[in-house]
Amino acid sequence: MGYDLMAGTGEVWPHLLEANPHISQITAVDLSAGMHQLAMKRLHAMRAHRIDFIEDDVLASNLPAASADFVVSTFGLKTFNAEQQRKLAQLTARVLKPGGRFAFIEASDPRGWWLRGLYLFHLKVVLPLVERLLLRGANDFAMIGTYSTNFGDARVFVDMLRAQGLNAEFRKAFFGCATIACGAKPVLGSADMNDAAI
């Protein structure tokens, strides 16, 4: 069993369950029960028996210690400031069992990539325009470009995870348009598990 923190509409669940058929249960953790219920009805009815839900604020969470085999989170980091990211790193270290794995992926600023300007134009102009024209009432993309450039990448969060005693590594995806913090909670007496990832 594991947690999807700030789960939203559960975009990662089909991929996670397909890649890891041994996973019996994913517990979605999010502030919005209504969004979760709508996502279950529209997107995840066929896997509802493998998805649980906890309405919870990850920045003030009482999730039980050592209760998860894995922790994942997609595209929630960029909205957090440094202190909030530190709290998220602390929560991750607390809820993971020894040997448990984690992976956080976030839209990032691909500094140094020659197509960076085009990518940022897509985030800051194209996506919000599509949202205004086709997804009336939605507000998911309005600030995505600003959040992503302010966030930079996941390197600082990797350092925060390491400060909590986790074996964490930094990875790039799509030329740095997304970055990943992944790894595992050490098992006493085990070798370094930096290469472990979901």
Q: What is the pLDDT of residues 70-121, one digit of tens each?
A: 999 998 899 899 999 999 999 999 999 999 999 999 999 888 889 888 988 8
Q: How many folded domains does the chain comprise?
A: 2
- pTM of the full structure: 0.85
pLDDT of residue 139: 59
Residue 49 shares a structural domain with residue 129: no
Task: Give residue-wise pLDDT tens across range 34-50.
Answer: 888 888 988 898 899 99
Residue 102 shares a structural domain with residue 72: yes
Q: What is the dihedral of CA 81, 165, 184, 97, to 10 degrees?
A: -100
Residue 132 shares a structural domain with residue 73: no
Task: Scan for tokens 């472990």, then name that residue.
Answer: 196
The domain containing residue 133 runs over which residues? 109-150
Residue 19 shares a structural domain with residue 57: yes
Is residue 193, in this structure, part of any structural domain at all?
A: no
Is residue 133, in this structure, part of any structural domain at all?
A: yes
Burial class (CB in 10 A: 0-12, 13-18, 19+), 22: exposed
Residue 139 shares a structural domain with residue 71: no
Reply yes or no on whether the pLDDT at 135 is more than 70: no
Residue 80 shares a structural domain with residue 146: no
Residue 53 shares a structural domain with residue 67: yes
